[in-house]
Amino acid sequence: MPSPSASGLLVAGTSSDAGKSVLVAGLCRALARRGLRVAPFKAQNMSNNSMVCLDGGEIGRAQYLQAQAARVVPTTAMNPVLLKPGTDRRAFVVVRGEPAGTLEAGDYAAGRAHLAEAAFAAYRELETTYDLVVCEGAGSPAEVNLRSGDYVNMGLAREFGLPVVVIGDIDRGGILASLYGTWALLEDEDRALLTSFVINKFRGDVSVLEPGLAEITARTGVPFHGVVPWLLDVWLDSEDTLEVGHWRASTALSATARDRLKVAVVRLPRISNATDVDALAVEPGVDVLVTVDPAVVEAADLVVLPGSRSTTSDLAWLRERGLADVLSRLAASGRPVLGICGGYQMLAREIEDDVEGRVGVVPGLGLLPIRVEFGADKVLARPSGTWRGHEVEAYEIHHGIARRLPPPPGEVADPPAVQGFLDGWNDGPVWGTMWHGTFENDDFRRAWLTVVARAVGSEWQPTLDAPGFAERRERMLDTLADALEEHVDIDALLAPTRVGTGADVSAGTRSQSR
């Protein structure tokens, strides 16, 4: 059974992308609004979407957002282990925000004892600092093949006596079987920690669902403490690259609406920090489509090459798909192409990689006059700068270092079109920067998109009185918290914890004592 005064609770899921990250973010905001000092925690992420904390350490983007939801400063303790897939069989390991080697597929189940130690130490750090720790599991707790080395799902719950909430996405279908199957596959000691089921993304009449919920509770003894409705306007930073662009357009980009701006984002196989384009997608009149279709890319006003965890491998994929030729044609015709981090590196004339892909020297797309060399040390930074008078704050996560090549023989100076751009370069219609997160700066985003629109003859103009990106994110977090307060019995979820029923949670008792 969970500890009667557990320091936290664990939100597990029936699968990846079941809604764990969203539920944790919503709980963090709801509890913060109640006056609690709450921290998010995920013992281990496997994700290429990450963020740099103010102390210079790297954590999963979802945990960074959850800390913002909790209105606390994000730290590396909130995501002590981050695995960044580089190939289908190898992941790069980040421990407490710093690179810590690689993990091979064969070592995944049993070769992680040192990572578990780091994760448990981080949790202990948080539980002594905050009123409550809201933990997010990974994948499903019913992955019995991984149970012996688990420290992020039931292994974490057993270590700290945490009550476990299991959330399932009803939109996927088979929700009752998924919830029952999760319970049935757990060991008795793990099963005893399950205290709640929650349904996510429900559309329709709840009364139709209720007989099924009652039957599952009768068979498992686990009560349902919430049915969260489908929240159309809530999409939050995801750690799951299978779900890039929750906001994404569902149809091909329009070829006729001249007052709109059409943006194609190339969905690279090892796409990284795809959240860079979220702010583009919420800009009024900007249509964003994540795609691998060369025809869609060629029809766009702007093409974005996002970050990549395997730059040279994804560059080879661009060539295999015919997308490299499309990008060259677009640039030659004057249509804008933007590369961010790994995408920027692909635009180089030459790439030397003996670190990430270990392929030596390979030709880049040749669209920017730079050479990229991969260094052993990872760059983790929170840079700031300006572009045409607009302030820009960003973050950097990369091994590749881009250097400007000198003019070709016979040219005494750079062509006038080559200019600096956010610590990167711009050559005519081609733009590149190592900086992530630049489009979250509202004034810069709108000014830069205006330049893009004029270059392609679009009549798009920014809506200056539209909510800014940070404001929209705050609204989404509050909307999510409102939905949980209305549709989830939060008090029941908290009951087995030290801030549960009978505890003085009106003003955050632990935070007042510090």
Nearest of 153, 117, 120, 155 to residue 138 by alpha carbon: 153
Distance CA(67)–CA(63), nearest Å, equals 6
436 catalytic per annotation? yes
Nearest of 279, 347, 337 to residue 315 by alpha carbon: 347
SS (H, E, C) 243-275: HCCCCCCCCCCCCCCCCCEEEEEECCCCEECHH
Beta bridge partner(s), residue 391: 386
Distance CA(28)–CA(11), nearest Å, equals 12
390 catalytic per annotation? no
User: What is the spatial order of strands in the sheet that 8-13 belongs to?
Assistant: 38-41, 132-136, 8-13, 164-169, 194-202, 224-229
Name the active-site residue from 28, 135, 341, 398: 341
Helix, strand, coil percentages in the chain from 3-state DSSP, rounded to 5? 35, 25, 40
**CB-CB neighbours of 377 under 10 Å:** 9
Distance CA(427)–CA(129), nearest Å, equals 50
CA dihedral of residues 423, 427, 431, 435 (deg, nearest 10):
-10
- Residue 122 in 3-state DSSP? helix
Distance CA(86)–CA(356), nearest Å, equals 8
Name the active-site residue from 225, 398, 399, 436: 436
DSSP state of 239: S
**CB-CB neighbours of 199 under 10 Å:** 25
Distance CA(341)–CA(371), nearest Å, equals 13
Distance CA(221)–CA(154), nearest Å, equals 18
323-332 vs 311-321: helix axis angle to the nearest 10?
Answer: 80
Residue with tokens 């933007």: 338
Residue with tokens 């030729």: 325
List active site positions. Answer: 341, 436
